[in-house]
Amino acid sequence: MNTPFTPPLRPNTFKGGPDAAGRFGTFGGRYVAETLMPLILEVEAAYSAAKKDPGFDKEWRLLLKDYVGRPSPLWFAERITKHCAALAPRPGDGAKVYFKREDLNHTGAHKINAVLGQILLARRMGKTRIIAETGAGQHGVATATACALFNLPCTVFMGATDVERQQPNVFRMKLLGAEVVPVTSGAATLKDAMNEALRHWVANVEDTYYCIGTVAGPHPYPAMVRDFQSIIGEEVRWQMQEAEGRLPDMLVAAIGGGSNAMGLFFPFLDDPSVEMHGVEAGGHGVDTPEHAASLTGGRPGVLHGNRTSLLQDEHGQILEGHSISAGLDYPGVGPEHSWLHELGRVKYVNATDREALDAFQKCSRLEGIIPALEPAHALAHVLRLAPTLPADKILVMNMCGRGDKDIFTVAGHLGVTI
Ligand SMILES: *Cc1c(COP(=O)(O)O)cnc(C)c1O
């Protein structure tokens, strides 16, 4: 990366970010239209106040317990562990593999954690309408779910291409009472849906809250979504203490926008013994144009109100990301990941479509868990990594979603007609 090295924001801590302007080193910030500024500042002020209010935290945690089903279990994946040990180049090696079961949450993924936090915030702010963007439809479904629960009208912007590709989720959102607006500009995918949602927000400032689905967007969204998702890593800390009496050695998570990864990593950032790997979508390979590895194959630029690493051509035009997994094909990544990448605190690797497909099938057969294609990328990396580590090492992978939504895609790739 050609940006100058930036030291941590507070000495000896990686958890200090962002600064008052919402910057993680040279990344993040708020690059928005003047008309949007008052709104962003209103969200920031409301979130700062909510963070200090024990009543807000209590209400959110009660929802997580009784509606979402938290804490999600920490599962020792014994057959995957044995499978990795059998592949170890040095006999006796093979790390112990645990899954954090975010797939067991209501709506089937981690997204609901941050959606409920944001909907409670919108209510505190007196907002009476919710808008959201969605790519594969997972964030749209989580938002539509929370809006049904709180009787709030919900409009979801979705690229017209994605509306075609993701009919089951479009139908789910409608069942939940949401309006789905197809966006036809650009390539008619997630990036365009996000642009449209931002435009719509400017025109409806009074009554509307924009619920963002990942650690992206202008400040305070990246930090706020991270804070809500940090429940994942906080639970892993005490669950691992109960299971093994110590910290894990390695954390692995898939990276789309990066919210499930930030949620797992953040509570451990200042524990130097804990290594972290983020797994981007390698598509057909990062040496081809067909991938979505924004950190491995991108350059810094500005998109959706923040400065981060982006897939772009030589003129700075944003390129379409490609991945077998619709949840990973966002052409950018949350700005905090760009910063952690520059600092070297987190290592970013990738897994191809083919490797993810293979891991998807192994997980189904070895653990009786059909994973979403997104965490199948993380698992593909675990299957490469765990066999090379000593047997006393403990690895935690974020099983951030269940695979029911992906069975048609997988069947197609395996040449099976359902
Ligand atoms: C949305 C989604 C992702 C990608 O988003 P992140 O912000 O990177 O977590 C990954 N996995 C699942 C199951 C998802 O639904």
Q: Tokens 């929370």 belong to which residue?
A: 146
Contact 98, 394 (CB under 8 A): yes
Residue whose CA is closest, atom 2 of ligand 1? Answer: 327
- The answer to whether residue 2 scores a pLDDT higher than 90 is no
Residue 71: closest CA among 113, 28, 37: 113
Mutate to test the pocket of ligand 1, among 100, 103, 105, 111 (most ligand atoms within 8 A of CB): 111
pLDDT, average across residues 51-75: 97
Largest pairwise CA distance in the chain: 64
- Write the Ramachandran bin of 126: left for phi over 0, alpha for psi from -120 to 50, otherwise beta: left
Report residue 307 as tokens. 């400065």
Residue whose CA is closest, atom 4 of ligand 1? Answer: 256
Contact 300, 212 (CB under 8 A): no
In angstroms, the CA 315 to CA 330 distance is 19
Residue 97: closest CA among 78, 119, 120: 78
Contact 104, 69 (CB under 8 A): yes
Q: What residue type is 69 in one-letter code?
A: G
pLDDT reported for residue 284 = 97
In angstroms, the CA 324 to CA 206 distance is 39
pLDDT reported for residue 12 = 61
Q: What is the pLDDT of residues 349-382, one digit of tens each?
A: 999 999 999 999 999 999 999 999 999 999 999 9
Contact 296, 271 (CB under 8 A): no
Residue 407: closest CA among 398, 393, 417: 417
Strand (E) or helix (H) holding 179 = strand 179-183
Task: Give the ligand 1 atom nearest the CA of 102.
Answer: 13
Neighbours of 312 (CB within 10 A): 18
Residue whose CA is closest, atom 3 of ligand 1? Answer: 327
Residue 134: closest CA among 164, 159, 165: 159
pLDDT reported for residue 189 = 86
Dist. CA 383 → ligand 1 center (Å): 20
Dist. CA 61 → ligand 1 center (Å): 21
Pairing of strands 306-310, 299-303: antiparallel
List residues near ligand 1 (CB under 6 A). 109, 111, 138, 214, 254-260, 327, 372, 374, 400-401
- The answer to whether residue 165 scores a pLDDT higher than 90 is no
Dist. CA 204 → ligand 1 center (Å): 28
Q: What is the pLDDT of residues 97-124, one digit of tens each?
A: 999 999 999 999 999 999 999 999 999 9
In angstroms, the CA 33 to CA 125 distance is 22
Residue with the larger pLDDT of the pair 195 and 3: 195
Task: Give the ligand 1 atom nearest the CA of 214.
Answer: 7
Around 334, how many Cα atoms within 13 Å sit in the side-chain half-sphere? 31
Work out the mean pLDDT of the chain and round it to a whole number.
94
Report residue 24 as tokens. 């993680």
Task: Give the ligand 1 atom nearest the CA of 375.
Answer: 11
In angstroms, the CA 103 to CA 220 distance is 27
Residue whose CA is closest, atom 7 of ligand 1? Answer: 259
Tell whether the torsion through CA atoms of 66, 71, 76 and 77 is positive or negative.
positive
Q: What is the pLDDT of residues 122-155, one digit of tens each?
A: 999 999 999 999 998 999 999 999 999 999 999 9
Q: Where are the alpha helices (DSSP H) in 245-332?
A: 259-265, 294-297
- The answer to whether residue 4 scores a pLDDT higher than 50 is no
pLDDT reported for residue 222 = 98
Q: What is the pLDDT of residues 233-291, one digit of tens each?
A: 999 999 999 999 999 999 999 999 999 999 999 999 999 999 999 999 999 999 999 99
pLDDT reported for residue 8 = 61
Task: Give the ligand 1 atom nearest the CA of 138.
Answer: 15
Mutate to test the pocket of ligand 1, among 99, 328, 333, 398 (most ligand atoms within 8 A of CB): 328
Confidence of residue 62 (pLDDT cuts 50, 70, 90): very high
pLDDT, average across residues 76-91: 98
The SS3 of residue 401 is strand
| 315 secondary structure, DSSP code | T
Q: What residue type is 217 in one-letter code?
A: G
SS3 content of the chain, % helix, strand, coil (to 5): 45, 20, 35
pLDDT reported for residue 362 = 98
**Structural domains of the chain in order of their starting residue, each with its CATH number:** 30-67+111-225 (3.40.50.1100), 71-107+230-414 (3.40.50.1100)
Residue whose CA is closest, atom 5 of ligand 1? Answer: 256
In angstroms, the CA 140 to CA 362 distance is 29
Q: What is the b/e burial string over 317-336, where b = at least 16 CB atoms within 10 angstroms of the residue's CB?
A: ebbbbbbbbbbbbbbbbbbb
> Which residues have a Cβ under 8 Å from the Cβ of 70 and sit 6 or more positions away?
64, 105, 113, 231, 235
pLDDT, average across residues 215-235: 97
Confidence of residue 3 (pLDDT cuts 50, 70, 90): very low
Q: What is the pLDDT of residues 7-28, one digit of tens each?
A: 566 656 788 789 999 999 999 9
Q: What is the pLDDT of residues 191-213, one digit of tens each?
A: 899 999 999 999 998 999 999 99
| 92 secondary structure, DSSP code | T
